[in-house]
Amino acid sequence: GQQLNQSPQSMFIQEGEDVSMNCTSSSIFNTWLWYKQDPGEGPVLLIALYKAGELTSNGRLTAQFGITRKDSFLNISASIPSDVGIYFCAGQPWNTGNQFYFGTGTSLTVIP
Amino acid sequence: ETGVTQSPTHLIKTRGQQVTLRCSSQSGHNTVSWYQQALGQGPQFIFQYYREEENGRGNFPPRFSGLQFPNYSSELNVNALELDDSALYLCASSLRGRGSWVQYFGPGTRLTVL
C-alpha cells in the first residue's frame, strides 16, 4: 500500500517552544488531514487541506499543503502541556475517492 | 466529541473465534470507513461502506467483512481470529458528495486475541 513518511518520529520540547513536523508521499494527494491521538482514544481532526499551496490555521496550529502535492507540514506555536500526544498525517491519493493513508505518527512530549 | 460511537470498548477473544464490532456514524454522515491500528502504528484502511455496499478495500483478507445498515451504522466482522488481529479498531464517518472526504473517528474498540 501507499507509504507516508512522517518525521520526526518523536520530539521532546520545552513548554513555549514551537514544533514542526512533516509528511511526504511518493504519490500525489488530493487531500491532507492532520489528526491528534491521545492514548486509548480515536484520532481527533485538527486541520484539513484541500488545495496545493493552501495554508490553514486552527488556533496555534498551522498546516500547509505542499506545492508538489506530495507533502504537508504541521506547525504548533508556543507549545503547552496539553499538546502532548501523537500527531498523524493522512493523505487521500488523487486516484482513489475514498481511501486515506496514514503516516506512522509523531510523538510529542512537552516538558513544563 | 465527533458523534461517532463504537462498541464494545474492549474485547478479548481467543484464536479461531469470530468477532463483531459496531459503529454508529455522526448524524448526517452516509459513509463509514474501518481502520486497524496496531500498537505504535498509524491506522491502516480496511474498507469503506457507502449506501450499504463496500466501496473500497485495503490490503486485508476476506475474513474481514462488513455491513452498513440503512441508518448508516456499520459492523466489522472478523472470522478465524489470529494473534496479529490484536489491535485498536477504529471507524470513521464522513459525508460523501461534498467534494472532500474528511473523516471523523470514533474512540475505537481494543481487540485482544489470545
Residue A28 scores a pLDDT above 80: yes
pLDDT at res. B100: 60
Give the residue on A whose Cα is nearest the Cα of B31.
A98
Q: What angle do CA B73, B100, B35 make, to 5 degrees?
A: 45
- pLDDT tens readout for residues A57-80: 999 999 999 999 999 999 999 999
Mean pLDDT check: name the lowest of A5-14, B25-34, B105-114.
Answer: B25-34
Give the residue on A whose Cα is nearest the Cα of B108.
A42
- Provide the 8-state DSSP code for B11: E
pLDDT at res. B66: 96
CB B40 within 8 A of CB B91: no
Residue B1 scores a pLDDT above 80: no
Find the mean pLDDT for residues B61-66.
97
Q: What integer best gives the mean pLDDT of chain B?
A: 92
User: What cell numbers appear for A17 in the block?
Assistant: 517552544
Q: Which residues of A touch B58 (CB under 8 A)?
A: 1, 99
Nearest CB to A33 within list B45, B102, B110: B102
Instruction: Round to whole Å and give the CA distance between A13 and A108.
Output: 8
Distance from CA of B27 to the nearest CA of A (A): 17
Q: Which residues of B touch A1 (CB under 8 A)?
A: 44-45, 58-59
pLDDT at res. B4: 94
Q: What angle do CA A90, A96, A99 make, to 5 degrees?
A: 40
Nearest CB to B102 within list A48, A97, A105: A48
Find the mean pLDDT for residues A40-52.
92
Instruction: Decide which of A93 and B65 is more confident.
Output: B65
Distance from CA of A60 to the nearest CA of B (A): 20
Residue A25 scores a pLDDT above 80: yes
Mean pLDDT check: name the lowest of A68-72, B10-14, B52-56, B78-82.
Answer: B52-56
